[in-house]
Structure 1
């Protein structure tokens, strides 16, 4: 989770990533941010994020992203 938070802080260090629960819904994380984030997550965690995973439920919070990462690492 620490690595994920570092990645998120590199994208925007003004956001309280640990507490925010509506990153997509509140447009804190825009489409460009999501695309950049996906690339970074795939490289850092050695996962592949399919288009079907790119839904608000997986990106609305750091916790949701971490759960997705863990699930994808198990496959």
Structure 2
């Protein structure tokens, strides 16, 4: 989780990613941010987030995104 928080904080240092639960729905993250996150996650965690997983529920919080990463790691 520490690596993910670092990715998110580098992207938007002004956002409280630990507490925020509406990153997409609250328009804190936009589509370019999501693409950046997907790229960084692929590099750091060695997982691929395919199009079927690019839904607001998976990106609305750091916890949801980390849960997705863990599921993808288990699949590989």
Q: Same fold (TM over 0.5)?
A: yes
TM-score bucket of the superposed structures, by smaller chain: over 0.9
**Count of residues paired in the alignment:** 75
Pairwise CA distance, 1:74: 0.3
Q: TM-score, normalised by structure 1?
A: 0.99
Q: Which residue of 1 aligns with 2:52?
A: 52
> Which stretches of structure 1, 4 residues or longer, exceed 3 Å deviation after superposition?
none
* Alignment root-mean-square deviation, CA: 0.4
Pairwise CA distance, 1:66: 0.4
CA separation in 2, counterparts of 1:64 and 1:72? 12
Q: TM-score, normalised by structure 2?
A: 0.97
Structure 2, unpaired ranges of 5+: none
